[in-house]
Structure 1
Amino acid sequence: MTSASRRTLPDIVTVGQYLAHRLLEVGGPHVFGLPGDFNLTLLDEMLTVEGVEWVGNTNELNAAYAADAYARTSRGVAALVTTYGVGELSAINGIAGSFAEDVPVVQITGMPTSAARTAGALSHHTLVDGDYDHFVRAYREVTVASAVLRPADASRDIDRVLRAALDESKPVYLGIPMDVAAAPVSSAPLRHPLRPSPSDAVALADFATALTDVLAGQERVTVLAGPRIHRRRAEHLLERIADHPGVRVATQASAKSMLPETHPASLGIYLGQMTPSETTRRAIDEAPVVILAGTVLSDVLTGFYSQGFDLHAGVELGILQARVGQVTFHDVRLEDSLRIVDEVVSGLDLGPVPVTEETWPFRAPLPARVAGSALTQRELWTTVQEWLPVDTIAIADAGTAMYGALELQMPRGTDLLASPIWSSIGYTLPATLGTSLASERRSVLFIGDGAAQLTAQELATILHRGLAPIVVLINNDGYTIERVIQSPAAVYQGITRWNWSALPAALAPGVPVLTSQVTTVEELRAALEAASAATDRLVLIEAHLDPNDAPPLLAALGRLAGGAAESE
């Protein structure tokens, strides 16, 4: 919200209008969700605020996924509105994913009236036991702040909850009874913009001293960067650190290309024993001190805990605290601790790290096989690497798509969006709606047929809104990621077959779409070239692959996962 718009606000607004103004200030104009009888008053009030744009989804889970990707791409707080009970429970899986992946999404639930809640009326969408807080309690498990609003303190609670999302990069919950949505409140607080809480100055200074001591005498500085840097909009600080001589930076899979992979300091991705490059693995595992910047040391991101560095001996920068060795400095924000790293490293006497063909972690793409041969995973990703445009948003669903995309070297200005921590298959198709609305860069989605079946109906929203992503659908007859892990021939690994080429016309009759089916490298190359030219429409490329063919990283995951299961 601009200062001019604050000055023109009426003295009194409704709760719904107040919330809409705050969302415009801390996020973007788009609000995702579905209508339901308990949120209609709220929606009517929110949509009276100029600039708010409603994005109706096909179900609440898809709305949560779309909001998550919107927040990641727009770098603000995203919002979705659901109705009580049936709607908010449908969305809770997506909100849990946002919690796991540190994404600030506000789940807004339209609730029955305050009188009904007080009386314990046996209403529809409830568990008919008179308790209206079952789902409020459920959401406390996957949010960092929540409130059920009352007119007397609605604006205060809205500000408190939204500030928690800003501070912690986590989802939050607002329950708004029907009568409260239209209740009048003062607009005066809107004259004061919401800001994240600052770092503690004393703790920050103490951290700077400790960091200086631990890095003194080091010949080089090694950083493992994680997704929380992206959540705090601090990539520019990471690149500033990488610009110093003597610095090398690897990223976790969920932060791939956060530092441009063409940067001389880039080591590519680190995944413990699954790391594609031995150069990268040794650089991290053998470093005397590793700065863990915004990392998440989960099973998949560490190659099932196969990291070789000493976690407790290094430096760890979290969203709200920093640690040097065994000492933790609380209330130190990640963006501030990164700034301190930049300042300390700039004062070190480090020589440049030589980068040669032997130490550069990226392999040249393998050549495709002879003309006319059947498409394989290797050739799929080699061809994608040759084609992938600059300045796009690549999106890869959990499964073969993600593990294939992780071995790509991203071109300039191209990011990879994935969700390897929560790994809820189907997330990325609605996520493509979110990225397409949040950014002018074209989205390129890689998704398996099994994952796409979970959320395919959101293609309708993408098509009807005139958005034009490229969708590469990997058709391998089911759940190849599960086949790699265990029981590849089991009946549950297969799925029903769909006519994917016919699906867009069924979902959006009359909307122009470019579809193709490919089985060879030549066909894939031609389809991708045609996709680049068709900038005014959605492109769906269905690539047929063998059900048991897997990218190398996925095969490595299967071996490690199998070993982990046997050791338990």
Structure 2
Amino acid sequence: MADLAGEITVGAYLAARLTQLGCRHLFGLPGDFNMNLLDEMLTHNDLEWQGGANELDAAYAADGYARVGRTVGAVITTYGVGELSAVNGVAGSFAEDVPVVQITGLPSTDAIRSGARLHHTLLDGDYLHFARMYREVTVAQAVLDRTDPTAEIDRVLSAMLAASKPVYLGVPLDIAKAPVPADRLRTALVTPASDPEAVAAFTDALRDRLPRMDRLTVLAGPGVHRRGLEAGVARLADVPGIRIASQVGSKAILDETHPASLGTYLGDRTLHPGSQAVVDDAGVLVMVGTVYSDFSTGFFSHRYQPGHAIEIALDHARIGPALYPGVRLDDGLAALGEVVAGLTFAPQEDVPATEPPVAHRADDEPLDHTTMWALMQEWLPASTTLVAEMGTAFFGALDVTLPDHSDLLGQPVWSSIGYTLPAAWGAALARPERRPVLMIGDGSAQLTIAELGRLLTHPSAPVVLLIDNDGYTVERKIQSPEAVYQDIPAWDWNALPAALGASDAVVHDVATPGALRDALAAATDPSAAHFLRVRLHRDDAPRLLLELAEGIAKVNATT
């Protein structure tokens, strides 16, 4: 830690702030405009460099790191070409409320003022094109100059904490090494506190309403994960009569074998039989950290009325039309827990457990999705981060009951293909005690495959299942299955781990249930990383994906 009575550079100050916020890894790529900044930031011993193959991958990795680690992520790029490569990843973080700081190394302040015609620019003298672009996908931005840069860093990072969304910092070459007082680091940056009066009013309103209700159901969303409040939801589940459902972005927020668990809510495609009615017909529905989108509601097939519910959001609470601004999610959930702790709600009907997928094919028959997911259900060990790409992998994973101390990492709102491979790398760094198991389709993997070697050489010995099914299966199920644009080049997948630097990874070529069973048994050994090429028929897909693809096709057909 720097001498807080002396001076440090702007770069070292930024690094110190990030480590104070729990960030221990910096993702990105070097470029001539950010190397001053990198040199200064990496002199801070607690910040470890993680170089990606490209800036998009680095942004995805920072996102996965922040989600799984319940911390903040940081990605650093060079000006123009680098920051534009990262913008899709940052947009996904914005859409899904993930706190990530995009740090861009800019040319010097003299070059910016003079409009010098430098490389990586548009040769028009305007150096703020790209900072303005980032305004659309970040909640705060700053291009630092010599006028109190530490105050600007603190302002931007504080906005990230308050909104749980990305921010943008542009740091010119000369500013990165500029000396600044270190004493501001004595004051920690924290998430804004709730308004005590608003919390008191909300608590009183809950005390007035809830004792008059005989049933209470909680719909828990990904905001609970973002704030690390899973324990608060678990305490609610222990109150007699309360039932808990999760959204697709927060599967297993409560142990899925808990008696109060309703599983994952997806409107009329909800996985637990009878669970939809418990949510839609709740005496009182409490939405905690939820999102509202096509995927989270089963393509708007939900029957509950959000406007009639009790909502506890990141920065406000609401009871029907009554709004309580300034009640933060942490305190709103604590208030709910306090009020219900002394209540007993009427017992709700038992909801039948989801029927687990059954391996219905013989060991020597061609493998299909149903059998693959049944074998995954049997095999998944405790303390796993299951990382599932949007499409066949994610919607198959929703049917799996996760083991204890496990999590599902996906991107159900932004749904950018290729996200999960770099995100699994970030997740492995954030939670090294949890072994990552990545399931990704061949089409998605081709976008970000350069990080495969980096992932497979991580000490947590990840397991990667590459679903080889000849192209974009999810798109085929939506429209034009035989169109040429659904095809992808055939790759020698078995050769890729070694070619990308993971020569010690164990490679399995799987086409039958027996081969998959054997490969998973071998992968149980945590001393080595395993890469499974899993061959499936082009037109086979998990049952939930087929239902949702049908919903997308119907919506698209009306436009």
**Structure 1 and Structure 2 fold alike (TM over 0.5):** yes
Comparing 12-21 and 22-31, the one that deviates more: 22-31
Contact 2:356–2:374 (CA under 8 A) maintained in structure 1: no
Whole-angstrom CA distance in 1 between matches of 2:459 and 2:387:
19
Whole-angstrom CA distance in 1 between matches of 2:541 and 2:410:
18
Work out which of the residue numbers 539, 542, 545 in structure 2 matches 1:554.
545
Q: Once the 2 structures are TM-superposed, how far is the Cα of residue 466 of structure 1 from its aligned partner?
A: 4.8
C-alpha deviations, 1:387-438, integer Å up to 9, x for none? 0111110000011000000110001111111110000010000011101111
1:243 aligns with 2:238: yes
Whole-angstrom CA distance in 1 between matches of 2:113 and 2:460:
45
Whole-angstrom CA distance in 2 between matches of 1:553 and 1:347:
39
1:456 maps to 449
2:221 maps to 226
* Partner AA of 2:46 in structure 1: G
Contact 2:506–2:529 (CA under 8 A) maintained in structure 1: yes
The correspondence of residues 146-225 of structure 1 with structure 2, limited to 5 A, is 146-225=141-220
Whole-angstrom CA distance in 2 between matches of 1:46 and 1:28:
12
Whole-angstrom CA distance in 2 between matches of 1:71 and 1:262:
27
Q: Once the 2 structures are TM-superposed, how far is the Cα of residue 562 of structure 1 from its aligned partner?
A: 1.9
* Partner AA of 1:16 in structure 2: G
% of aligned pairs identical?
51
Whole-angstrom CA distance in 2 between matches of 1:48 and 1:501:
40
Whole-angstrom CA distance in 1 between matches of 2:310 and 2:217:
10
1:36 maps to 31
Whole-angstrom CA distance in 1 between matches of 2:348 and 2:23:
41
1:116 maps to 111
1:564 maps to 555
The correspondence of residues 76-91 of structure 1 with structure 2, limited to 5 A, is 76-91=71-86
Contact 1:28–1:74 (CA under 8 A) maintained in structure 2: no
2:416 maps to 424
Whole-angstrom CA distance in 2 between matches of 1:315 and 1:386:
38
Contact 2:216–2:285 (CA under 8 A) maintained in structure 1: yes
Work out which of the residue numbers 239, 253, 257 in structure 2 matches 1:258.
253
* Partner AA of 1:55 in structure 2: Q
Q: Once the 2 structures are TM-superposed, how far is the Cα of residue 473 of structure 1 from its aligned partner?
A: 0.8
1:514 aligns with 2:506: yes
Contact 2:436–2:460 (CA under 8 A) maintained in structure 1: no
* Partner AA of 1:475 in structure 2: D
Contact 1:15–1:151 (CA under 8 A) maintained in structure 2: no
SS, match of residue 512 in structure 1: coil
2:355 maps to 363
The correspondence of residues 298-309 of structure 1 with structure 2, limited to 5 A, is 298-309=293-304
1:372 maps to 364
Comparing 362-371 and 230-239, the one that deviates more: 362-371
Q: Once the 2 structures are TM-superposed, how far is the Cα of residue 551 of structure 1 from its aligned partner?
A: 0.5
Contact 1:151–1:184 (CA under 8 A) maintained in structure 2: no
Comparing 212-221 and 68-77, the one that deviates more: 212-221
Query: How many matched pairs?
Result: 558
4+ runs deviating over 3 angstroms: 351-355, 463-467
C-alpha deviations, 1:430-475, integer Å up to 9, x for none? 0111011111211000100000000000113234555521001111
* Partner AA of 1:474 in structure 2: I
Comparing 40-49 and 343-352, the one that deviates more: 343-352
Whole-angstrom CA distance in 1 between matches of 2:459 and 2:197:
52
Whole-angstrom CA distance in 2 between matches of 1:186 and 1:390:
47
Whole-angstrom CA distance in 2 between matches of 1:559 and 1:291:
30
1:349 maps to 344
1:403 maps to 395
With the length of structure 1 as denominator, give the TM-score of the two structures.
0.96
Contact 2:144–2:171 (CA under 8 A) maintained in structure 1: yes
C-alpha deviations, 1:58-101, integer Å up to 9, x for none? 00000000000001122111111100000000000000000011
Work out which of the residue numbers 138, 144, 164 in structure 2 matches 1:143.
138
Contact 2:19–2:46 (CA under 8 A) maintained in structure 1: yes
2:63 maps to 68
C-alpha deviations, 1:93-140, integer Å up to 9, x for none? 000000011100000000000111111111111111111111101111
The correspondence of residues 419-568 of structure 1 with structure 2, limited to 5 A, is 419-439=411-431, 440-463=433-456, 466=459, 468-508=461-501, 511-533=503-525, 535-568=526-559
Whole-angstrom CA distance in 1 between matches of 2:447 and 2:538:
19
1:27 maps to 22
Whole-angstrom CA distance in 2 between matches of 1:224 and 1:41:
47
Give the superposed CA RMSD: 1.3
Contact 2:359–2:370 (CA under 8 A) maintained in structure 1: no
SS, match of residue 504 in structure 1: helix
Whole-angstrom CA distance in 1 between matches of 2:250 and 2:201:
28
Q: Can you give the 5+ residue segments of structure 2 that lack an aligned partner in the other structure? A: none
* Partner AA of 1:213 in structure 2: D
Comparing 45-54 and 393-402, the one that deviates more: 45-54
* Partner AA of 2:70 in structure 1: R
Contact 2:220–2:287 (CA under 8 A) maintained in structure 1: yes
The correspondence of residues 47-66 of structure 1 with structure 2, limited to 5 A, is 47-66=42-61
* Partner AA of 2:158 in structure 1: R
C-alpha deviations, 1:195-242, integer Å up to 9, x for none? 111001111111112223332321121011100110011111111111
Q: Can you give the 5+ residue segments of structure 1 that lack an aligned partner in the other structure? A: none
Contact 2:264–2:270 (CA under 8 A) maintained in structure 1: yes
Comparing 159-168 and 214-223, the one that deviates more: 214-223
Q: 1:235 to 1:157 in 2, by over 3 A?
A: same
SS, match of residue 27 in structure 1: coil
SS, match of residue 292 in structure 1: strand
